Chain A
């Protein structure tokens, strides 16, 4: 079974600075999908960025980028020029590309609470 580990329960960053959130996962599959979701105090789950494992190029979305290290099974999220609105819980998630049974689910880490200080 796949597992996702976020080793940092809480992180803080100064406004305008850069912060990196860590995520590691365990899988025996060679291809899969990885996601970062943001959950602000409103509780809405918002997609931040996604990556397909067979693509070596790291995904980027504006100020958000990932460092995907497939051999190390690591998928960290870098937030550049942090803004107050980035304060939220961030979840790393894994999804198998295969269909059927429990493959349909996203496997989530326990989350990292990011605080942005003005």
Chain B
């Protein structure tokens, strides 16, 4: 049981390049999330997927797209990377959302992807 896995661990991009961050979970969770963490700040939600087949914007979605490929996988795509997207990206999953109780609502995080855009 690996929990939440992310690839790659580290990536360097040039401005304007594109890339996809991959995330997978093996906990049979319904809901998945993408956050970014910038220095001196907590995590901020980029996109989320409450259930397979649905995705919605979080608080900082500009410059990103997502795909919920199946129940296990949730990818984040940067179409044209900018230096402002230099950050650490975390994927998370939870059993469910919406009055599920604290255990079901608890989000479990992957190890993060460190992205540097030059």
Contact = CB atoms under 8 A, between A and B. Distances in A.
Categorize the interface residue count of chain A. Answer: 20 to 34
Contacts of A52: 101-102
Interface of A: 4, 33, 35, 37, 42-47, 50-52, 91, 93, 95, 97-111
Contacts of A45: 43, 90, 92, 109, 112
Interface of B: 31, 33, 35, 40-45, 48, 50, 56, 58-59, 88, 90, 92, 97-99, 101-103, 105-109, 111-112, 114
A24 to B, nearest CB: 14
* Pairs of residues from A and B, 6 with the lowest C-beta to C-beta distance, nearest first: A108-B42, A99-B98, A45-B109, A105-B45, A52-B102, A43-B112
A108 B109 CA distance: 14
| A contact patch SS | mixed
Given A99-B50, A99-B98, A43 B88 contact: yes
